[in-house]
Amino acid sequence: MEEKKFDLNTVIGFVLIFGIFAWMFYVNKPTPEEIEAEKAKQEQVEAEQKTEENKTTEFIKESEAIVANPQDSLALVAAKSQLGAFAYAASLPSAKENVTKIENEVLSLKINNRGGYIEEALLKNFKTYDSVPLYLIKDGKNASFNINFGTTDNRILNTKDLFFEPTVTKNGDNTVLSMKLKVSESKFLEYRYELKPNEYMLDFSIKSQGLQQVINSSQAINLDWKLQAIRQAKSASYENRYTDIHYEYEDGKDDFTGQGEFDEDQEEQVSWIGFKQHFFTSILLTDTPFKTATLASKNVANASELDDKDIKVTKEFAASVPLELQGGELSYNMNWYYGPTDYKTLSSYDRNLDEIVPLGWGIFGVINRYIFIPFFGFLSGFLPYGIAIVVMTIVVRIVLSPVTYKSYVSQAKMKILKPEIAEITEKYKDNAMKKQQETMALYSKAGASPMSGCLPAFMQIPVFYALFNFFPSAFDLRQKSFLWADDLSSYDTIAKLPFEIPFYGDHISLFPILASIAIFIYMMMTTGQTMQTQQPGMPNMKFIMYLSPLMMLVFFNNYASGLSLYYFISNLITIGIMLVIKNVIIDEDKIHAKIQENKKKPKKQGKFQKKMKELMEQAEQQKAKK
């Protein structure tokens, strides 16, 4: 490596460059007059910004005086306000805080003059977990709806701050509310609500008339919808697990944001947006898909804080979408849905809204939609809901009993072959390949296989997972009692703890305890034989036997009691079926005789088996040569 030496020329160069920069800064230093002028200019910019921020507040204060003296106030607003053409709205009697109520048999809505948006949505037929009226929007504090747009005279306006004029009419049995933000009597922006009898879905439209010369078409027009999800359930953490944003995009595709601390998605051609809670949902639908939509969901509290009794909301939702002008005007036909997250109700609208209900993907969702939902609906039509769960569980286990039978027969065969497998193991204890070869040959002759006991269990997984999704999503179970459980959609409590156990909670639920005991007994019956004939490399079945009941006990303590009830009854019935199979149906002596008979018969080998045998023999010969 070349030795670094002191370079005088380099030092001189740096000194000259520094001197040049210092001289330039000195020559270009602003004069005191220039500094003063720049300071005055900055103060003017800040003052203009502050005026822009306060102009909406000034308008609101000034417009409130209109009722007392309309003529003077109108002149005041026209002279002072920064709202341009929309200052006309301040001359109307509606330019004050007031609400208009529309309702039917199931839904009560209050719409505020300011902003023209729903400030209260009450579901009449439902109560919260603590028996108070159930609101999706309350007092205008947890929701906002706003259109932000520019005007041709260079103003930026927000509809949430402006006053609309309400007009209520009837369209047959439907109640129609027109909210107009007026430039004049013939020029306005209108929100139109139409509520039908016994419907959670209402028609909603956004239209403008005569505003081509008012709305600046070169600037973006944004619709912003925000909502805080009010807590409705006993366990806020459990409710939060099923609370997120669902949406449909690109002509029929659907997706959701997820249940994390913060999730954000952006999609194109969005046709509906659903702010979904566990059992209730607020949805905005549009006939003209939004070109793009930015969706965000955020937890209000940490997971450890969710079950605090003071927690009032679980998540904050936000959706921002651009609106497009058609011929210089706004024209969107939409719908609002404020109602239960109920599969039957949502699917009745034929808008793909039933995808909001988390029934599972693929085959699991198909099983729920076409088997469990119709069947449970049939049973609950004439049986109490707890009994309907028991009956459905019995039917499911009976239908799956042939699978249970095959699994147990396979286990019985493996138990009978255990002495012969032990002989092979001892005989070829120093030759693993030969031991494996002879063991497989024994299985082939006897018509048994270690995997034949696992396959029936795998066949039950779709049913298991489908029901795991079905019970927490079954709206009909909400606030339905059975035995000591006062709500089958939430956890049952037999005792409250004076402290909280991590992952377990501050209470004791009985159904998970019973289900854990039943699972432990079932695992002892099914893994006893498996452990006796366990092959090298297979999972430790004894560990699994203890782990499964423990997981049930801990994690299901906060789950829906209807789900724990199902697992308890299901394992209880399975235990009974296996006892019948073992003591009544299966004769192990006959199985043993059948195995011995099969072993005497020449077993025709397929091409694959022959090839495998040849490869193993070649490997054995090569090993012997070495």
Token pair listed for 476: 């009909």
**Residue 611 pLDDT greater than 70, yes or no:** no
pLDDT of residue 25: 47
Cβ(100)–Cβ(110) below 8 Å: yes
Considering the domain boundaries, does residue 257 fall inside one?
A: yes
Lowest mean pLDDT among 74-78, 193-197, 593-597: 74-78
Lowest mean pLDDT among 15-19, 434-438, 594-598: 15-19
pLDDT of residue 68: 46
Q: What is the 3-state secondary structure (H, E, C) of 432-494?
A: HHHHHHHHHHHHHHHCCCHHHHHHHHHHCHHHHHHHHHHHHHCHHHCCCCECCECCCCCCCCC
**Residue 411 pLDDT greater than 80, yes or no:** no
**Residue 100 pLDDT greater than 80, yes or no:** yes
Considering the domain boundaries, does residue 336 fall inside one?
A: yes
The tens digit of pLDDT for each residue in 184-207 reads: 888 889 999 999 999 999 999 999
Token pair listed for 515: 């289900």
Considering the domain boundaries, does residue 80 fall inside one?
A: yes
**Residue 20 pLDDT greater than 90, yes or no:** no
Share of the chain above pLDDT 70, in %: 68
Neighbours of 445 (CB within 10 A): 16
**Residue 443 pLDDT greater than 90, yes or no:** no
Cα-Cα end-to-end distance for the chain: 55
Token pair listed for 233: 């359930």
pLDDT of residue 73: 47
CA–CA dist 185, 206 (Å, integer): 17
pLDDT of residue 234: 83
3-class secondary-structure state, position 615: helix
pLDDT of residue 600: 58
pLDDT of residue 537: 46
If one compares 430 and 25, the residue with the highest pLDDT of the two is 430
Cβ(188)–Cβ(210) below 8 Å: yes
Structural domain total, the chain? 2
The tens digit of pLDDT for each residue in 369-407 reads: 999 999 999 999 899 999 999 999 999 888 887 777 777
Neighbours of 501 (CB within 10 A): 12
- Where does the pLDDT of residue 70 fall: very low under 50, low under 70, confident under 90, or very high at 90 and above? very low
**Residue 483 pLDDT greater than 60, yes or no:** yes
The tens digit of pLDDT for each residue in 156-189 reads: 888 888 889 899 999 889 999 999 988 888 888 9
- Number of C-alpha atoms within 13 angstroms, CB side, residue 497? 11
3-class secondary-structure state, position 57: helix
Considering the domain boundaries, does residue 585 fall inside one?
A: no
Considering the domain boundaries, does residue 197 fall inside one?
A: no
Share of the chain above pLDDT 90, in %: 27
**Residue 541 pLDDT greater than 90, yes or no:** no
Is the whole model's pTM more than 0.85, yes or no? no
pLDDT of residue 239: 86
CA–CA dist 257, 509 (Å, integer): 31
Lowest mean pLDDT among 7-16, 513-522, 551-560: 7-16
The tens digit of pLDDT for each residue in 264-290 reads: 889 999 999 999 999 999 999 999 999
The tens digit of pLDDT for each residue in 314-356 reads: 889 999 999 998 888 899 999 999 999 999 999 999 899 999 9
Average pLDDT value over all residues in the chain: 78
Among 358, 390, 412, residue at a domain's last position = 358
Tokens 């107009």 correspond to 180
Among 293, 326, 358, residue at a domain's last position = 358
Considering the domain boundaries, does residue 512 fall inside one?
A: no
Considering the domain boundaries, does residue 143 fall inside one?
A: no
**Residue 34 pLDDT greater than 50, yes or no:** yes
Which range of residues forms the domain containing residue 227? 220-358
The tens digit of pLDDT for each residue in 302-316 reads: 655 655 566 788 889
Considering the domain boundaries, does residue 176 fall inside one?
A: no
Neighbours of 335 (CB within 10 A): 18
